[in-house]
A and B are shown apart, each in its own frame.
Chain A
Amino acid sequence: MNLAAAKYRIAYEAFSKFSGSLSRVDNLEDLSTVVSKNLKYLFNFKIFRIILLDKDTVTGYTFIKNEIWAHKNQEDILDYEKKLLQDQIPFSYAISSEELPGYINHVPLKNGQLWGWYLPYTNYKVCVSLIADDQTQFSYSDVDILHLLVDTLTSKYRQICLNQEIILKNKRLEEAVGQIALKNKEIEQINSNQQNVIELRTRELRFKNKKILELSRLNAHNLREPLCRILGLLEIADYYDEQGLRNEILPKLCESSLELDAIFKNVVAKSEKEIEYYGKTIGNNDE
Chain B
Amino acid sequence: MSDSFKIMLVDDQQMANFINKKLIEITQLATDVVDYTLPEKALVELEEHQPDIIFLDLNMPKISGWEFLDSLTQSHNTTKVVIVTSSTSELDKQKAQNYIQVVDFLIKPLTKNTMLSLKSKLRSAS
Q: Does B46 make an interface contact (CB < 8 A)?
A: no
Q: Report A-chain residues with C-beta under 8 Å of the C-beta of B49.
A: none
* Chain B proximity mask over A236-278: 1 for CB below 8 Å, otherwise 0: 1001000000000000100110000000000000000000000
Q: Report A-chain residues with C-beta under 8 Å of the C-beta of B19.
A: 229, 232-233, 235-236
Q: Report B-chain residues with C-beta under 8 Å of the C-beta of A228.
A: 16, 86, 108-109
- The interface of chain B, by Cβ under 8 A from chain A, is 13, 15-16, 18-20, 22-23, 26, 59, 86-88, 108-112
Alpha-carbon distance between A244 and B22 when the two chains are bound, in angstroms: 13
Q: Count chain A CB atoms within 10 A of each CB in B20, B22, B26 and give the residue with the most.
A: B22
Cross-chain contact A221 with B109 (CB below 8 angstroms): no
Q: Distance in Å from the Cβ of A104 to the closest Cβ of chain B?
A: 109
Alpha-carbon distance between A220 and B89 when the two chains are bound, in angstroms: 10
Alpha-carbon distance between A17 and B86 when the two chains are bound, in angstroms: 113
Q: Does A176 make an interface contact (CB < 8 A)?
A: no
Known A255-B15, A256-B15; judge A236-B88 contact (CB<8 A). Answer: no
Q: Distance in Å from the Cβ of A218 to the closest Cβ of chain B?
A: 11
Q: Could you say which of B20, B26, B59, B111 contacts A239, with CB atoms under 8 Å apart?
A: B26
Count: A-B pairs, CB below 8 Å:
49
Cross-chain contact B13 with A225 (CB below 8 angstroms): yes
Can you list 11 A-B contacts (CB < 8 A)?
A: A220-B88, A225-B86, A232-B19, A232-B110, A233-B19, A235-B109, A235-B112, A236-B19, A239-B22, A239-B26, A256-B15
Cross-chain contact B15 with A235 (CB below 8 angstroms): no
Cross-chain contact B15 with A221 (CB below 8 angstroms): no
Q: Could you say which of A225, A231, A233, A236 contacts B26, with CB atoms under 8 Å apart?
A: A236
Q: Could you say which of A220, A229, A236 contacts B22, with CB atoms under 8 Å apart?
A: A236
Alpha-carbon distance between A227 and B107 when the two chains are bound, in angstroms: 12
Q: Could you say which of B26, B59, B109 contacts A232, with CB atoms under 8 Å apart?
A: B109
Alpha-carbon distance between A227 and B86 when the two chains are bound, in angstroms: 9
Q: Report B-chain residues with C-beta under 8 Å of the C-beta of A236.
A: 19, 22-23, 26
The residue of chain A having its C-beta at the shortest distance from the C-beta of B18 within the complex is A252
Q: A220-B88, A229-B16 are in contact. List 13 more A-B contacts (CB 8 A).
A: A221-B86, A224-B88, A224-B108, A225-B13, A227-B86, A229-B13, A229-B108, A231-B109, A232-B19, A233-B15, A236-B22, A239-B22, A255-B15
The residue of chain B having its C-beta at the shortest distance from the C-beta of A237 within the complex is B22
Q: Distance in Å from the Cβ of A47 to the closest Cβ of chain B?
A: 111
For the complex of A and B, 8 pairs with smallest distance between CB atoms = A228-B108, A232-B19, A231-B109, A232-B109, A224-B86, A236-B22, A228-B109, A228-B86
Q: Report B-chain residues with C-beta under 8 Å of the C-beta of A239.
A: 22, 26
Q: Distance in Å from the Cβ of B10 to the closest Cβ of chain A?
A: 15
Q: Could you say which of A220, A224, A235, A252 contacts B110, with CB atoms under 8 Å apart?
A: A235
Alpha-carbon distance between A229 and B109 when the two chains are bound, in angstroms: 7
Alpha-carbon distance between A224 and B86 when the two chains are bound, in angstroms: 6
Q: Distance in Å from the Cβ of A244 to the closest Cβ of chain B?
A: 10
Q: Report B-chain residues with C-beta under 8 Å of the C-beta of A225.
A: 13, 59, 86
Cross-chain contact B59 with A221 (CB below 8 angstroms): yes
